[in-house]
Structure 1
Amino acid sequence: MVLPRLVATDLDGTLVRSDGTVSDTTRAVIEALDERGVPVVFVTGRPLRWAEDVFAHVGAHGLAVVSNGALVWDVPRDLPWLERPIPVDVGLAAAERIRAVVPGAAFAVETLAGIALETSFLERYPVPDGSRRGPLPEVYDAPALKLLARHEELAPQEFWDAAEAAVGDLVTITWSSTSTLLEISAAGVTKATTLALLCDRLGIEAGEVIAFGDMPNDLPMLAWAGTSYAMADAHRTVVEAADHVAPGHDDDGVARVLATVFDL
């Protein structure tokens, strides 16, 4: 096996343990690969405000793909390297279409400034103080890195299928939550397409990438990478799609695979 030149890994359910930590074992593997000049790129659905929790482990390359590919963050400079947002008119049109076919849908938007929510959007995690709430046309007043759609009655796959049929020509829809939360990006924006842009900058081809993930939002990245691993506790569609299965995220699965592949 030719050694990969870049590691792409999801965070939650993949690199990060259930308690939200990055283990000492995983940190040691990331540092060892960084010393060898092998970038370990975090490719996450997390918004910037949550991704910052792991930026201490980004390494010398300094880049992290967040918001499912809508943003590449330059960690050392604390600036965006690439933004791929949803224009306001497109996002509002998508929301109208989804609400028409799935009454009861509620929406929120993620931007560099943070999250803004419709009053009916029931967030599962605390939102930053000062986050705006109101009708979507009022709070969605700038291009969004992600448009979030939540439903309190439908199952995730049912909601996704209905939304995809309604707006698949306008935007890209995926999900990574155990609750019914759709994560909507601009058309053509996925973890894979943005990772490809980053790799092009580094002179690395898809066949030289090893990727890890656990949820449907990881599927494009796993399909694009030359070698792909699903976590043992991943969503069934991810296990079916990946080349290999790694131990679970609470068992340092990513680190254990990488230690074997690179003979660390």
Structure 2
Amino acid sequence: MNIKLISFDLDGTLLNDQHQLHEKTIEAVQAIRQKGIKTLIATGRMYISAKPYVNSLEMKDPVITYNGALVMNPLLDQEIYHSPIPLDIAKDISKRLKEGNYYLQTFLDDTLYVAEKNDFTLKYENIAGVEAQVVGDLTEFMDKGPTKMLIIEEDESVQIEIQNFLLDNFSDEIEITSSYPSFLEITKKGISKAVPLKKYAEENNLKKEEIMAFGDGLNDLKMIEWAGQGIAMENAHPGLREAADDIAQNNNQLGVARYLNDKFDLALEIEAEVEKEKN
């Protein structure tokens, strides 16, 4: 393998189910960079939510957030690329979802906004480590296109109903994907993690065959399919595992660190830590 760039998802990939980044994972990513391989994060998270992990990993390359809708320079905290949902489309979606009494979150200026807080809000706040801002009617509140909109619905049949409704009415304007089973994540048409990853590769004269990508959710699918080496986690969505070139072990068992250690001969002491994690 002549890999020159590796892209990592966060939740379910680099992070365990408690949203923690293990020191051995940090050590493995740093060892990869010492071999001259570039590393970057590609996540569905907000930038402010991803930044603590970016800092812990000492990432210097662009951070892909909101499933590809916002790319940031982590050294300067400056925007490199931003492609929000058009305001009129966002307002229409918000209005119709409110009529159906569905739960919706919107993200503007890297801030989370909700009409009111409930258990879904608390669930997201716990995952993301951010606090939602309550603004009442989201349709009236939005004065510009949001970076992303997020529906949380735990009933699978209702989730399918919502997704079908959105596709029937907005398929030409939006993308719908998911990073968690109860999430429906909406971005502008054409947005995916693969888009900025491909752009970064072109800017750095990298071929897709020289790029490896790790992920676990459907929001990683296009990135995994595009990369020369797409690696799905053992805990990944079945559709992602099917599309991947290889499988890394479970995210709760240092899957990424173990894969990197094996494939790139990093000679790190990891297996003892895996046994500790099991116990």
Structure-2-length-normalised TM-score: 0.85
Contact 1:107 1:147 in 2 (8 A): yes
Q: Cα distance 1:139–1:128, how it changes in 2: closer, same or farther (>3 A)? A: farther
Contact 2:42 2:67 in 1 (8 A): yes
What's the Cα RMSD here? 2.2
Contact 1:223 1:241 in 2 (8 A): yes
Of stretches 165-174 and 216-225 in structure 1, the one that deviates more from structure 2 is: 165-174
| Secondary structure at 1:14 match in 2 | helix
Kindly indicate whether residue 31 of structure 2 is the aligned counterpart of residue 29 of structure 1.
Answer: no
Cα deviation for residue 246 of structure 1 reads 0.8
- 1:214 aligns with one of 207, 213, 216: 216
| Secondary structure at 1:134 match in 2 | coil
Kindly indicate whether residue 82 of structure 2 is the aligned counterpart of residue 109 of structure 1.
Answer: no
Cα deviation for residue 172 of structure 1 reads 0.8
Contact 1:63 1:72 in 2 (8 A): yes
Of stretches 49-58 and 210-219 in structure 1, the one that deviates more from structure 2 is: 49-58
Structure 2 regions of 5+ residues with no counterpart? Answer: 267-279
> Partners in 1 of 2:211 and 2:78 — Cα distance?
25
> Partners in 1 of 2:33 and 2:5 — Cα distance?
10
Q: Deviations over 1:101-141 (max 9, x none)?
A: xx332322112240111237741233855713211222222
Structure 1 regions of 5+ residues with no counterpart? Answer: none
Of stretches 73-82 and 163-172 in structure 1, the one that deviates more from structure 2 is: 163-172
Structure-1-length-normalised TM-score: 0.89
> Partners in 1 of 2:4 and 2:160 — Cα distance?
35
Q: Deviations over 1:36-55 (max 9, x none)?
A: 22111110001122111202
Instruction: Tell me the residue number matched to 1:191.
Output: 193
Could you tell me the percent identity over the aligned residues? 29
Cα deviation for residue 171 of structure 1 reads 0.7
Alignment length, in residue pairs? Answer: 260
> Partners in 1 of 2:95 and 2:206 — Cα distance?
40
Instruction: Tell me the residue number matched to 1:174.
Output: 177
Contact 2:49 2:130 in 1 (8 A): no
Instruction: Tell me the residue number matched to 1:75.
Output: 74
Judging by fraction of residues, say which structure has more helix.
2
> Partners in 1 of 2:102 and 2:250 — Cα distance?
33
Contact 1:94 1:171 in 2 (8 A): no
> Partners in 2 of 1:110 and 1:157 — Cα distance?
23
- 2:150 aligns with one of 148, 151, 154: 148
Instruction: Tell me the residue number matched to 2:252.
Output: 250
Cα deviation for residue 174 of structure 1 reads 0.5
Cα deviation for residue 259 of structure 1 reads 1.8
